[in-house]
Structure 1
């Protein structure tokens, strides 16, 4: 037996007619509180076997509670970033304390709005004049990464469709609703990133959150960012609708809708390829994306010739956002290729 600080090499033995066995390090067995007859779970992971004592759910290193102290004159954005960072790295209890006697009304309202709008599964469980305690109540088995990402994609798609509908009807109220929905996408984005960070620290969590390997964590992390960007561009379309002085001509609307439908179909196909693990479909998305350039050029010609001068800039920004949505769909498809490249390897 060869021994290193964190690694041991042990010889496989053959017993009976068909059983292979390997002994376990005594130090590990004792430290885990195991004995003869104890159960361990054996998990296959990328060519390795992971042994987990039955009933062990969380590693001792997993963060549980963190406290931050804020002053009355502290920048609100600094407070927001600190709370989000603690949420993302996996703290289940976050305590905000005032350095002085009280947490200001502005800071209190900011923390409440952040909790409600951005942090999935988080509630304010206690509140005093100088302290607010946040508790993450949802656990990873209750909402898998895949289900959370599906929800993100549905919202992003809805935002895009509604933004284009607001453009068609010059519906300012609908445009405002699209902009507000961006917070909902951010909520799921933060939640997924939190779960992926926890999974990287504890391999057992990977299956609990609906993934199959550590490699998936990186791929999903990047995809989440792309979906978030797609939602951002849908919100930008809505913002540009609000800045228009008059409704675009029918020909301009037609070319923009042609672009929009094309980009939306690419996004939906890329997400379908992700969840179905479809390498071929992802490859098709990437190939089709090249056509967005020609569609954009066609739209720009219509815009320049048939749009009021004061609105040209806003319409062009809408066109750019639609193109970026298509490009992000292609980026997602590239990640899908990387996650499923084994499908094209000859066996």
Structure 2
């Protein structure tokens, strides 16, 4: 770290000289323009225009597998580049173009701007001032929990249609977009100002989005099993008790996710400790259901896999709640019931540690 003396010029403006070594590394000289970002924490940041990724070039091999190509494009999208230029070492095969178009359709805020025989240019069409990361997180929460609810009901009632389950693409789009703008906020501080969220909040939203995407993935797993199994999957005995227990455990897991996500994105944290308590209760219920399935003749092992996905959903809720607890501690929030927020022993640290370790 260097220290610099503040000087005042004749018109009253304060000036600070820039380190020559830093200016040389950035390619700056007299007359160049830089951006100044003043933050609420008292930090003033100087940033050059080169910090933004305008175009990202990705070289492709003509024998690249389409599945791998999709992953490369998704990774490029996550960098936050405004333009992604996919170039082949020759003419791009038709299956590559098909994979690129399919991947772009699943991404929010980008489109194919131009293409030739040798390259495809993917361009951003959504500026940060048109994006609400907080609202996108809410949408992701709604999609993930709705899919989870429908999938679990279909598992317990084979006669129920699964037409309403299929929001996987929507959940992936929301999660990927949140990650994209979080990454952009790391490289361009003016993006933070445009998004209208603090850097800390954007990080919280990014972590929560990752867990909500996992909830959506668990819902997809339950839905796939619900399609595969039949009414005899719960064994030869009356399955009503087992299905009721599954529905109850799934409802508790979803409630835990909702409370935790609200604590992260809402105006103030709620009763976060109830999330950890629900998570523990779901674990106990799932353990009992798994034992019942194991002891029931003719039970399909895939039902146990679906039940395990409910346990993992509750674990996602606890991970989101950890983010909310850190927010509450940082902001000094105690909630409506101080005893409930702090814990019966009056020690916030021990309860936070208990939740984090589990």
Please classify the TM superposition score into its range, dividing by the shorter chain length: 0.7 to 0.9
Go from structure 1 to structure 2 and tell me whether the alpha carbon gap of 1:225 and 1:345 turns closer, same or farther (over 3 Å shift): closer
Go from structure 1 to structure 2 and tell me whether the alpha carbon gap of 1:296 and 1:9 turns closer, same or farther (over 3 Å shift): farther
How many residues are treated as equivalent by the alignment? 317
Q: Spell out, residue by residue over 1:28-55, the C-alpha distance to the aligned partner (whole angstroms, 9 max, x if none).
A: 9965659xxxxx9874333x14378xxx
Secondary structure (helix, strand or coil) at the match of 1:170 reads coil
Unaligned runs of 5+ in 1: 13-20, 35-39
Contact residue 7 and residue 15 of structure 2 kept, 8 A: no
Q: TM-score, normalization: structure 2?
A: 0.79
Go from structure 1 to structure 2 and tell me whether the alpha carbon gap of 1:171 and 1:130 turns closer, same or farther (over 3 Å shift): farther
CA distance in 2: counterparts of 1:51 and 1:261, whole angstroms = 47
Per the TM alignment, residue 97 of structure 1 is displaced from its structure 2 partner at its CA by 2.4
Go from structure 1 to structure 2 and tell me whether the alpha carbon gap of 1:146 and 1:171 turns closer, same or farther (over 3 Å shift): farther
Go from structure 1 to structure 2 and tell me whether the alpha carbon gap of 1:343 and 1:133 turns closer, same or farther (over 3 Å shift): closer
Per the TM alignment, residue 77 of structure 1 is displaced from its structure 2 partner at its CA by 2.9
- Taking the TM superposition and a 5 Å limit, the aligned residue runs for 1:80-91 are 80-91=70-81
Give the equivalent residue in structure 1 for 2:136.
Answer: 148
- Counterpart pick for 1:50 among 18, 25, 44: 44
Contact residue 154 and residue 162 of structure 2 kept, 8 A: yes
Per the TM alignment, residue 322 of structure 1 is displaced from its structure 2 partner at its CA by 0.6
Go from structure 1 to structure 2 and tell me whether the alpha carbon gap of 1:104 and 1:345 turns closer, same or farther (over 3 Å shift): closer
What root-mean-square deviation, in Å, do the aligned CA atoms of Structure 1 and Structure 2 show? 3.0
Q: TM-score, normalization: structure 1?
A: 0.81
Unaligned runs of 5+ in 2: 24-28, 335-358
Q: Spell out, residue by residue over 1:231-255, the C-alpha distance to the aligned partner (whole angstroms, 9 max, x if none).
A: 1111111111122132542221101
Contact residue 277 and residue 336 of structure 1 kept, 8 A: no
Give the equivalent residue in structure 1 for 2:4.
Answer: 8
1:258 aligns with 2:253: no
1:325 aligns with 2:313: yes
Give the equivalent residue in structure 2 for 1:92.
Answer: 82
- Counterpart pick for 1:336 among 308, 324, 334: 324
Per the TM alignment, residue 150 of structure 1 is displaced from its structure 2 partner at its CA by 1.2
CA distance in 2: counterparts of 1:317 and 1:266, whole angstroms = 21
Contact residue 85 and residue 119 of structure 2 kept, 8 A: yes
Give the equivalent residue in structure 2 for 1:17.
Answer: none
CA distance in 2: counterparts of 1:314 and 1:64, whole angstroms = 47
